Amino acid sequence: MMRCHAMISARWIFLLWLVACWTVSVSPGQAQENGKESERATEKAFYAGKTVRMIVGAGVGGGFHVFSRMIAPYLAETLGATVIVENQPGAGGLVALNRLYTAPPDGLQISLANGTMAASAQLTGYARFDLASFSYLSTVGTPPGLWLVAPNSPFREVQQAIDAKQRWRWASAGGTSMLGIGAALTCEALKLDCHVVQGYKSSAEAALSVMRGETDAIYVPESSANQFVNARQNWALATISRTRSRYFPNRPTIFEAAKMDADGIWVMDFLSNIEKLGRVFLAPPGIPPARLAWLQDAVRQTLHNPQLIAEGEKADRHVEYLDPVGSRQNVAAVVGSVTPEQRARVLKILSRD
């Protein structure tokens, strides 16, 4: 009997030793990684077979539509989901962003949005969202804007346009659209007599209105400007930035081309700074952390896909990745740096026709 009891005790000691060894062998770091791996598997399974809607706040044919259509199939492959591009034009993209802000936080709606429009709308009180509260996925390039005129325009330099003392009609998709913001601030800085013509559904449609003589000028990002100029439907006067455009290295910046007083320089710098917010990839607030991390990583992988980058280069649609943290910091720096007086000034400028 004593011998049997000793054998049982020895077996229990051996089993306890095995448990202790196993517990020691799984370090806290390994346990955490195992947990992350389990979360990744769960989120991968969630997206499998689902449909993700990529919202575009403008009509078909504009730069954001083209970029979204180009990115969608690559993101679908990364996520293992179907990604469809859905146009929701209205108020220069503001309608789509307001809807995205209140959309279900399930990670199935995203948008490649205009950071310039979004920040301006919040600064001037037109937005029904807090830009800082969105879920940030990345930024896809920060192109400067260009001032375009008709190909047969008598104006080939900015100073000629200023000296003409004419009333300028600028094509716009809405007062809060990038086209409208760029037009209003450019006119203010250069003290031009301007009328911003609203209602064009995309930058492509607005650019055609300039070529047809319905309007006199348009403000668009450099990639779209390059497309329109290469098609011989527009002419580039200047880049609205402190640095020249990669596409138009022989065309001056607005700071090189025009003599502005201190107030005009502030207005132009404000415009060029909010342009740096670029094409920002957003999702609704409140997405669960594990799902958001999975979606952010899928976007990162997608935007580093060599095939996508090559396709973008070929189409003059450059894909330049900035991570979610940097994207959020850029927005915070712009929105948080404007004084109440400056905010009121910008609102007054953008409220003019």
Handedness of CA 215, 221, 223, 226 (dihedral sign): positive
Interacting residues of 241 by C-beta distance below 8 A, sequence separation 6+: 144, 145, 253, 254, 272, 275
Checking DSSP bridges between strand 193-197 and strand 167-171, what pairing results, if any?
A: parallel
Q: Are 269 and 322 in contact, with CB atoms under 8 Å apart? A: no
Q: In what order do the strands lie in the sheet with 135-140?
A: 82-87, 51-56, 109-114, 279-283, 135-140, 321-322
Query: Which residues are 197's β-sheet partners?
Result: 171
Model pLDDT, residue 27: 60
The helix (H) or strand (E) run that includes residue 278 is: none
The C-alpha atoms of residue 289 and residue 298 are separated, in whole angstroms, by 14
Average pLDDT of the chain?
88
Query: Within the chain, which residue ranges are assigned CATH 3.40.190.10?
Result: 145-275
Distance between CA 163 and CA 129 in Å, rounded?
A: 41
Burial class (CB in 10 A: 0-12, 13-18, 19+), 350: buried
Fold topology of 47-142+276-348: D-Maltodextrin-Binding Protein; domain 2 (3.40.190)
pLDDT for the residue 46: 95
Taking residue 329's Cβ as centre, other Cβ atoms within 10 Å add up to 13
Task: In the chain, list all ranges with CATH 3.40.190.150.
Answer: 47-142+276-348
Closest CA to 331 of 97, 172, 105: 97
pTM of the model: 0.77
DSSP 60: T
Q: Kindly list the averaged pLDDT for each block of 10 residues, start to end, along the chain of length 353.
A: 48 49 55 65 91 93 89 97 94 90 97 91 89 96 93 95 94 84 95 93 92 96 92 96 94 95 94 89 97 97 97 90 94 86 89 74
The superfamily CATH assigns to domain 145-275 is Periplasmic binding protein-like II (3.40.190.10)
Contacting residues for 257 by C-beta, under 8 A, at least 6 apart: 157, 158, 159, 237, 238
- What are the residues whose beta carbons fall under 8 Å from the beta carbon of 175, sequence distance 6 or more? 91, 92, 126, 181, 184, 196, 198, 350, 351
Long-range contacts of range 45-50, CB-CB < 8 Å, 24 or more positions apart? 46/107, 46/291, 47/79, 47/80, 47/81, 47/107, 47/294, 47/298, 48/80, 48/81, 49/80, 49/81, 49/82, 50/81, 50/82, 50/108
What contacts 228, CB < 8 A, 6 or more positions away? 148, 204, 207, 220, 234
